[in-house]
Amino acid sequence: MSPLKTRLITRIKAEGPMSVASFMAASLFDATHGFYPTRDPLGADGDFITAPEISQMFGEMIGLWCVQSWRDMGRPSPFHLIELGPGRGIMMLDMLRAANVDPAFIRAARVTLIEASPALEAVQGQTLAASPCPISWAGSLAQAPEGPCLIIGNEFLDCLPIRQFIRKREEWHERVVAIDPEDETALIFAVSPTPETLEDFTIFSDASEGDLVEICPGLAQITDTLAERFTEHAGRALFIDYGPADSEVGDTLQALKAHTKVDPLDEPGEADLTARVDFSALIASAYSNGVLPFGTQTQGTFLTSLGIEARAARLASGVSEDAKAKLARQLHRLTHAEQMGELFKAVCLQSQGLALPAGFET
Ligand code: SAH
């Protein structure tokens, strides 16, 4: 049994069943036995792979998007380039290399990385050791330095803990993690007997008996923090992640270990846990906080309108046939509808008074 599972079983015995959000937070971020603090899970040899790890072209397009955004903001100098959940730091490396098309951008940028995992923070430090811009770390977005900013997060929102609720006899009951009454060493999902009344449920007012809905409290925290920052200074945030354009009913909690789906309750701390991002909820929360949302835009359309095809053609000129084929596969994977092109979406949240963000024109 994973060490975290032993500890969670002891905790549930003492305190009773725990919410899916508490289970997810412990599995992902427990300082001693959590998934992220104890390893570097990214890449082909790890547990999952992300767009910046698939191809340098992804980070390069985001870097160019940042340069355009900085110009839209009136070229503030200095400004903060903040990344949420930077993984191995590869995307920031590719972004800064591409952004060098405008050396004034590089001179003005102060990079702040927000990373929950000490293991990944160390990897980011190595990846970005020769960065042309000063790099520092902050504990959260709220603690990032004040000033005009560009904020980026790829596959960050899908790790934010979600709560799950089930419709029973016209009431909502929280889905919880409990100990299997027939096997003390196993965790199971159960349903809390006490009904909940939360405002968030109004969007699911037509749910049917047995429906499961997910609520991610972290999304509203993000738009609250953005609203505070954006009343003082210009800013723009870009989030790219997987999820539907409109809120959907259903269980989307997913665990991945060594690129294979596993049972989320089996080995907490040993598998990555994510849920589809509810972009409609993020956008609604942005509006109600006075932050301007754009999107969702599909990843395929977003990257294509930023010029990823031209970049792929450029990289493919004068290289071997194998290298050409590899670039074509990377481009396909990032942009094609049956790959990441449609399931992954981009959303831009910005302060009042800025131009339409690049990549969101259609
Ligand atoms: N953006 C990277 C990594 C994605 S994995 C890429 O695309 O490759 C998710 C990243 O977010 C990891 O670095 C993880 O440690 C970090 N993370 C998740 N939740 C976090 C939180 N609440 N605060 C800070 N970092 C977080």
Share of the chain above pLDDT 70, in %: 99
Query: DSSP E strands: which ranges in 233-271?
Result: 235-242, 254-257, 260-262
DSSP letters spanning 122-146: HHHHHHTTT-SS-EEEESSGGGSPP
For residue 80, pLDDT over 80 is answered with yes
Residue showing tokens 């990344």: 83
What is the number of H-type helices and E-type strands within the chain? 12, 15
* The two structure tokens encoding residue 147: 């000033």
For position 198, what pLDDT does the model report?
A: 72
| Interhelix angle 20-29/3-15, nearest 10 degrees | 150
Ligand 1 mutation target, pool 35, 36, 58, 219, most atoms within 8 A of CB: 36
For position 197, what pLDDT does the model report?
A: 79
- Nearest ligand 1 atom to the CA of 48 is 5
For residue 177, pLDDT over 80 is answered with yes
| Residue list, ligand 1 pocket, CB within 6 Å | 36, 42, 50, 52-53, 85-87, 91, 114-117, 120, 154-156, 159
Expressed in angstroms and rounded, the spacing between residue 90 Cα and the centre of ligand 1 is 12
Average pLDDT over residues 155-182: 95
- Nearest ligand 1 atom to the CA of 153 is 1
Expressed in angstroms and rounded, the spacing between residue 117 Cα and the centre of ligand 1 is 8
For residue 325, pLDDT over 80 is answered with yes
335: preceding bond cis by omega (within 30 degrees):
no
Q: What is the pLDDT of residues 15-63, one digit of tens each?
A: 999 999 999 999 999 999 999 998 888 866 777 889 999 999 999 999 9
Task: For residue 120, give the nearest of 50, 174, 180 by alpha carbon.
Answer: 50
For position 207, what pLDDT does the model report?
A: 85
Expressed in angstroms and rounded, the spacing between residue 89 Cα and the centre of ligand 1 is 10
* HSE value, Cβ hemisphere, 13 Å, CA-based, for 16: 6
Cα–Cα distances in angstroms (integers) from residue 355 to residues 78, 227, 235, in the given order = 20, 18, 12
Cβ distance 210 to 171 under 8 Å? no
Expressed in angstroms and rounded, the spacing between residue 86 Cα and the centre of ligand 1 is 6
d(CA 127, CA 118) in angstroms, rounded, equals: 14
* HSE value, Cβ hemisphere, 13 Å, CA-based, for 11: 14
Expressed in angstroms and rounded, the spacing between residue 334 Cα and the centre of ligand 1 is 19
* The two structure tokens encoding residue 185: 């060493």
Beta-carbon contacts of residue 16 (< 8 Å; ≥ 6 apart): none
Q: How confident is the model at residue 271 (pLDDT cuts 50, 70, 90)?
A: very high
For position 29, what pLDDT does the model report?
A: 94
Expressed in angstroms and rounded, the spacing between residue 155 Cα and the centre of ligand 1 is 7
d(CA 202, CA 199) in angstroms, rounded, equals: 6
Q: What is the pLDDT of residues 180-218, one digit of tens each?
A: 999 999 999 999 999 987 776 676 777 899 999 999 999
Q: How confident is the model at residue 169 (pLDDT cuts 50, 70, 90)?
A: confident
Expressed in angstroms and rounded, the spacing between residue 197 Cα and the centre of ligand 1 is 31
Cβ distance 218 to 161 under 8 Å? yes
Average pLDDT over residues 223-235: 96
Average pLDDT over residues 133-151: 97
For ligand 1, atom 10, name the residue with the nearest CA.
85
For position 40, what pLDDT does the model report?
A: 83
For residue 330, pLDDT over 90 is answered with yes
- Nearest ligand 1 atom to the CA of 155 is 4
Beta-carbon contacts of residue 269 (< 8 Å; ≥ 6 apart): 2, 3, 4, 5, 26, 27, 30, 33, 34, 35, 38
Cβ distance 224 to 291 under 8 Å? no
For position 170, what pLDDT does the model report?
A: 85
Query: What does pTM read for this prediction?
Result: 0.96
Longest CA span, the chain: 66
For ligand 1, atom 23, name the residue with the nearest CA.
116
CB atoms near residue 61 (< 10 Å): 26
211 φ/ψ angles, rounded to the nearest 5 degrees? -65, 145
Q: What is the pLDDT of residues 88-135, one digit of tens each?
A: 999 999 999 999 999 999 999 999 999 999 999 999 999 999 999 999
d(CA 185, CA 270) in angstroms, rounded, equals: 16
Expressed in angstroms and rounded, the spacing between residue 83 Cα and the centre of ligand 1 is 9
CA-derived radius of gyration, the chain: 21
Q: For residues 149-180, b (16+ Cβ closer than 10 Å) or e, as one string? A: bbbbbbbbbbbbbbbbbbbeeeebbbbbbbbe
Ligand 1 mutation target, pool 36, 40, 93, 156, most atoms within 8 A of CB: 156
Q: How confident is the model at residue 148 (pLDDT cuts 50, 70, 90)?
A: very high
For ligand 1, atom 21, name the residue with the nearest CA.
116
Expressed in angstroms and rounded, the spacing between residue 228 Cα and the centre of ligand 1 is 23
Cβ distance 254 to 202 under 8 Å? no
- Nearest ligand 1 atom to the CA of 53 is 8
Q: What is the mean pLDDT of the chain?
A: 95
